[in-house]
Structure 1
Amino acid sequence: MDETAFPPADLEAFLTLCVGRWMSLRSRFDLKGPEDDWHTSDRGEVTVSLKDQGPERILTVQPAESAASQLCFAGDGNLVVAADGVERTGHWQLREDASLELLLSDAASAATVLERIWFIKPNLRLRSTTAIAIDGTPLQARFCSEIRRVSSPQV
């Protein structure tokens, strides 16, 4: 039986709860895209692992269909995300409602990306992401629901 506290009360508990294999349903809305191609949805799988690097926690996210990304959480609220050979910096905050908020600046597109991750149950996780241009115009929105793959109990 898993003894992970729910809802998570601190970053360590939240990241520990993220570890595992997840089935996901993702929807993406490109608000600046062509009228006939502004929305996509797909299913996927992702494996999440956690490493303790002294004062930092490194979450590795490995989608089945693409390269892994690493999120490095520092105890002071700083965040570094490395994906596809590019590093972005930002901040993380564990909110009072036990959701984790990630705020990143994307220098390439001059946009700010805000991601919020929260658990409905220990094996059901939701994520929402919005990208906003420097002038405040919404560019993109994503929503993802993820269900943890669990093994059947051994009899």
Structure 2
Amino acid sequence: MDIQTFLELCIGQWFSQRSSYQFDTEKAESQKSELTVEWLEANHSTVVSLCQQYNLDPSQAIGGKKISWNSSTDYGQKNQTGNATIILIPDSNQPKIGKIIQTFQSQTSSQGSYLLAEDEALNLTLEVGDFLMEERIWFASENLRLRTSLIKGNNGYSRTAFYSEIRRLPPQKAA
């Protein structure tokens, strides 16, 4: 599988369940979300702008994903909504590795790297302020996506999470 095929599999609407653990507070949390993943072409204004912000050639980007979410926790807290954009710029000699730019809520952005491993899992590494975020994404099937994430701060790991995401299929047309 190449990176373009992997990204195309991500496009669509997903029901996500997350279990996370905060190491410093020893708090476990569950969360349910509705995710929408949209493809952004390489010439999309957001892709071009973010590449230019990091002095990267926008013509080298293969495009990006805009991810929107609406989440609720098991603890009766308010729903959380938001979005993030991820831009991918493959290495010209080894397209299974490359750079990523990620922005949250169109405000804070960070740069990192990706690796599409031999087992067809996408590994993302991002530096966000004083934190290092590592995420691994893979498909158990075309409609079941799994993710793990680790966030590491100056004092070691601060949070880990596991996600299972089921693709929301479009309604069947009446015969």
TM-score (norm 1): 0.86
Report how many aligned residue pairs link the two structures.
Answer: 141
Q: Which residue of 2 aligns with 1:50?
A: 39
Aligned residue in 1 for 2:13? 21
Contact kept, 8 Å, 1:116 with 1:129, in 2: the verdict is yes
Alignment of 1:63-74 (within 5 A): 63-64=69-70, 65-74=80-89
Aligned alpha-carbon RMSD (Å): 1.3
User: Which of 100, 105, 109 in structure 2 is aligned with 1:79?
Assistant: 100
Write 1 or 2 for the structure with the bigger share of helix. Answer: 2
Q: How far off its partner does 1:132 sit?
A: 1.6
Gaps of 5+ in 1: 1-8
Q: Is the 8 A contact 1:112 1:134 kept in 2?
A: no
Q: Which ranges of 4 or more aligned residues in structure 1 deviate by more than 6 Å?
A: none
- Name the structure 1 match of 2:30: 41
| SS of alignment partner, residue 67 of structure 1 | strand
Which residue among 127, 139, 159 is the counterpart of 1:119?
A: 139
- Of the three residues 144, 147, 160, the one matched with 1:141 is 160
Q: Distance in 2 between matches of 1:147 and 1:93?
A: 23
Q: Distance in 1 between matches of 2:169 and 2:143?
A: 9
Structure 2 unpaired stretches of 5+: 43-58, 71-79, 92-97
